[in-house]
Copies of this chain bind each other. A is one copy, B any other.
């Protein structure tokens, strides 16, 4: 199970969230050293917005905890909107191209979850990526395929609608032929100004998703990374929306997905 954080607010150095706190994302990747838990040692990535409309990316295959470059970058990079992700691979190769976040045009995406029976369903999911976006398919993960399917489903104009359309299609797909494969989709999406975070699943329980606000700054995380602050859970099957200078909104995602999909 991967872990990730997404930040939107006043421009801040990444180290405040990624490397420095006692319960930072990097320490979460290491936590298993002291207690039972999973290792997130199959690569990591940073994505951020700065002086261009398109985001920057730094992705590496080595574990986050031993990467000197990551510590330097988290100390020197500041951004008003950034993503960080540590990966626990679920079957696909440990390559930079399979590390999150993924970028396409102005958009950044990262994911904690999976599509069940990926080796059987992969081809069907890749078929959801329209031709103009297929050259952007440079890795082999389910996560990247879902992101590009969403790009093809109108993400640019209507991000939540695009996510809904793709998840409805995928929900149908995993229930075809009497099967009921699982989907877990706890994901973050951004375009340089807005930040969206999704918590959804099909035939399964959703992975956790939390956030906390402080003024107009918001941090969203796959799980709380400190105990000093109050974290709010995003309910299952909901979307978090964070826009500049506005309070976070939580709206239902696919309330009637299962019947609609059928």
Contact = CB atoms under 8 A, between A and B. Distances in A.
Nearest to A134: B123
Contacts of A97: 93, 95, 140
| Size bracket of the A interface | 35 or more
A193 interface: no
Contacts of A48: 76
A101 to B, nearest CB: 12
A243 interface: no
B94 A62 contact: yes
A190 to B, nearest CB: 15
Contacts of A61: 62
A57 interface: yes
A80 to B, nearest CB: 13
Contact of A73 (B33, B35, B56): B56
A89 B75 contact: no
A109 to B, nearest CB: 16
Given A35-B36, A39-B41, A140-B140, A78 B93 contact: no
B122 A13 contact: no
A56 to B, nearest CB: 4
Interface string A47-88: 010111000111111110110110011011110000000000
